[in-house]
Amino acid sequence: MANEIKTEVRDHIGIVRLNRPDKLNALNYVLMTQVIEALEQFDADSDIRCMLLTGDERAFAAGADINEMADASMIEMHHRNMFGRWVRIKNLHKPIVAAVSGYALGGGCELMMCCDIIIAAETARFGQPEINLGIIPGAGGTQRLTRAVGKAQAMDLILTGRMITAAEALAMGLISRVVPAEQWFDEALKVCRELCQKAPVALQLGKETVAKAFETTLTEGIEFEKKLFYMLFATDDQKEGMRAFQEKRQAIFAGR
Ligand code: DAK
């Protein structure tokens, strides 16, 4: 099987890099299989505290691989279930930071939206151009984008297929931070290093609780938050964090 990604561990960060530079990291079946498996392995590794998902300078990913879909029938697309597996990304516990440079289009933008914190180069470009191919987003784009930016902006992006700049994406609430072009990867790594200093269980429950906001009523969400908040008082890290504050020193979290 071709190696469509590169993985690396730096400090306690599991890095997954899409690696089809000649095809602007277009997401084919093998690449997505490898991305999901690599993220799952890092998620299960007790030495890893967060993951960093990235592409290269020219593209995070320019979408699903059009050549893999061009001649497919409806039944074939249904059986391939190409993107059904993406729910496994949603089920990961540890935070995922996306480092984005260049294009994040179609399935690439959808993959980016599966991440928790998105750091983008000021030169990055985003969009859901599927309409130009006679299709619509199919890996969660219509739902995640709408929840992220609201109906007016989502309709505009999905029905016109237009590309937007990083500044526009930031203003819409699609991405977390925009940084100078040459700093996109280092800045994302810096955010990951910062996450590595936090209490790991609190990080994971924080991620789970924010994600819950997309799926529940306000009352249910607040109830869920309350339970997870109380749960954290069963961790050594809560004791350490509060004791460190009282003793005016830096907390050292052990992850239990
Ligand atoms: N698929 C395959 N190849 C792609 C690609 C893609 N999405 N995007 C780029 N490439 C390839 C190009 O064909 C070219 O390959 P060669 O010709 O050199 O062999 C190479 O990458 C460099 O691209 P360009 O020569 O086009 O580079 P430019 O700088 O001129 O243009 C561009 C960059 C990003 C504007 C352009 O490449 C472009 O428009 N790309 C397509 C963008 C796009 O339409 N993306 C959406 C794809 S559809 C599903 C759920 C979801 C989806 C599908 C199914 N199910 C639930 C089953 C998602 C669909 C999509 O994402």
Q: Rounding to the nearest 10 degrees, give the CA dihedral for residues 109, 38, 97, 168.
A: -10
Residue 83 CA to residue 140 CA, distance in Å, equals: 9
pLDDT value, residue 15? 98
Nearest to 119 by CA among 177, 57, 67: 177
Do 18 and 35 form a contact (C-beta atoms < 8 A)?
Answer: yes
The amino acid present at 229, given as its one-letter code, is: F
- Work out the number of other CB atoms within 10 angstroms of the CB of residue 83: 19
* DSSP code for 134: T
Residue 117 CA to residue 49 CA, distance in Å, equals: 14
What are the Cα distances from residue 37, in Å, to 14, 69, 86, 145, 198?
A: 12, 22, 11, 25, 25
Q: From ligand 1's centre to the CA of 125, what distance in Å?
A: 13
- Work out the number of other CB atoms within 10 angstroms of the CB of residue 121: 23
Out of 64, 98, 124, 188, pick the active-site residue: 64
pLDDT value, residue 238? 98
Q: Is 82 in the pocket of ligand 1 (CB under 6 A)?
A: yes
Q: From ligand 1's centre to the CA of 244, what distance in Å?
A: 50
Q: Is 241 in the pocket of ligand 1 (CB under 6 A)?
A: no
Band of pLDDT at residue 49, cut at 50, 70 and 90: very high
pLDDT value, residue 241? 97
Q: pLDDT tens digits for 32-43? A: 999 999 999 999
Average pLDDT over residues 77-85: 80
User: Residue 157 has which token pair?
Assistant: 């992006």
Nearest to 56 by CA among 92, 87, 14, 15: 15
The bridge status of strand 125-127 relative to strand 164-165 is antiparallel
Task: Say whether 182 is catalytic.
Answer: no
Average pLDDT over residues 216-237: 97
**Mean residue pLDDT across the chain:** 96
Q: Is 24 in the pocket of ligand 1 (CB under 6 A)?
A: yes
Q: Is 131 in the pocket of ligand 1 (CB under 6 A)?
A: no
What are the Cα distances from residue 73, in Å, to 5, 78, 89, 164, 217?
A: 28, 9, 27, 31, 38
Comparing 74-83, 140-149, 151-160, 230-239, the range with the smallest average pLDDT is 74-83
Helices (runs of H) and strands (runs of E) counted in the chain: 12, 10
pLDDT at 29 over 80: yes
Residue 189 CA to residue 153 CA, distance in Å, equals: 30
Residue 59 CA to residue 19 CA, distance in Å, equals: 10
Do 149 and 118 form a contact (C-beta atoms < 8 A)?
Answer: no
Band of pLDDT at residue 177, cut at 50, 70 and 90: very high
Band of pLDDT at residue 85, cut at 50, 70 and 90: confident
Beta bridge partners of 61: 104
Residue 207 CA to residue 185 CA, distance in Å, equals: 22
What's the length of the chain?
256
Average pLDDT over residues 212-228: 96
User: Residue 62 has which token pair?
Assistant: 């320019």
